[in-house]
Amino acid sequence: MKIRIRDLEVRKLEFDERFQAGEIEFGEDVKQASELATDGRAELIREHHGGQDTVDDIRIVGKLAVQVEAGCARCLEPVTIPVSRSFDLLYRPLKGEKRAEEVSIHEAETEIGFYSGEGMELEDALREQVLLAVPIKVLCREDCKGLCPVCGVNRNLKSCQCTVNPADMRWDALSGLKDKLQ
C-alpha cells in the first residue's frame, strides 16, 4: 500500500490491511507463518524550518499482529514467534537531512526513519517493525542441546557417541598463561 504525500495533504489515510504469508519479504532468516493484520492511520506533519522552508514528515500510527518463523540458534529447527505490537513512527524525506558539517542529534531524532520520492510503502514500515520484534538469538527451548559438532545430529532428538577432539597440541604452551597472569 503506497502512502503518498499528495494524498496526505488532502486527508489522513486510515488503513486496515491483511497481508498473506509471502507478500512481505523479511529476508533469509525470518519467514512469515501467518496472515499479518494491521490497522491504523498515516498523516502528514508539516514542519516549518524558517521562512518558506518546510519538511513534509509522514507519521504512521497503528498496530500489527503476525506469526513468523526463524531457525533455532542451536539446533536450526523452525521456531514460531508471535509478534503483536503497536507503533508510532515518523518518516522524513531523505533530501531534507543532507548537511555538510557534523551535527549532534537528540535522542528523539534517532527514532526518525526516512523515505524518498513522493511517499513510502506501508509494507516497508511493517517489515521494519516485525524484524525489530524478533529476538536476535531465537531458541526452540531454553535447554536446547543443539547439534553435535562432529556428526551434526540434533541432540534434542537422539544421542550420538561422538567424542569431541581435544584441542590442537600446538596451543598447549599457552594453556597455563591465563593462570600465570592472575
pTM of the model: 0.77
Other C-beta atoms lying within 10 Å of the C-beta of residue 146: 15
Q: Which residues of the chain have pLDDT under 50?
A: 96
- pLDDT at residue 174, rounded to an integer: 82
Task: Please name the residue that has the C-alpha cell 542451536.
Answer: 74
Answer yes or no: are the C-beta atoms of 31 and 56 closer than 8 Å: no
Dump pLDDT digits (tens) for 129-162: 999 999 999 999 999 999 998 899 999 999 988 8
The per-residue pLDDT for 133 is 95
Give the C-alpha separation, 9 to 95, whole Å.
19
